[in-house]
Amino acid sequence: MKSWIVLAALLAAPAAHAVEYRTVLPAQSRIGFEFVQMGVKIPGSFKRFAAQMAFDPAKPESARATLEIDLASIDAGSPEANEESAGKLWFDRAAFPKARFDSTQVRALGDNRFELRGTLAIKGKRRELTIPVQLVPGKAAARFDGSFVLRRLDFGIGEGMWADVGTVANEVNVKFSIAASGK
């Protein structure tokens, strides 16, 4: 009889140690992108962002996340590109200094894979997104890795002479890895 109690306690132990990830670790996180300009792939990233989240892998439907990106922290491949991105034709950072994503729903897909739905706001325009995310558990923290294609013209990014998708492709591949702990 005691062996059944011990076995039941061992099987229940992982549930007792379930972690709800709430503390985002910016120094271990990354938000990058890649775009094509005149046939050349150019990588970039954003260095500063703020994120809040609450994610329990056992209850993904109750998860929520908010991400706010400081657009002035862009590294678009060169100082000239970084400066150009500030202007009205690109991000218009004087009027819209931040991009923001707010989750609306999380759905489990199995094998630590999830579908994150929400609204992305850039340059005063809002679009619904569905983003596949992979949870990579770790000892001290977990990573939430994902990627999606952003269509820049949907947000008015690269207007005027830059609206020609033969010069700068409309599709921007965004890739992120957000580290979080349960602390």
- Quick one: what percent of the chain has pLDDT higher than 70? 90
Q: Once rounded to an integer, what is the mean pLDDT over residues 27-53?
A: 96
Residue 8 above 50 pLDDT?
no
- Residue 100 has φ and ψ, to the nearest 5°, of -140, 135
pLDDT value of residue 140: 85
- CA-to-CA distance for 130 and 106, rounded, in angstroms? 9
Helix (H, G, I), strand (E, B) or coil at 77: coil
> pTM (2 decimals)?
0.86
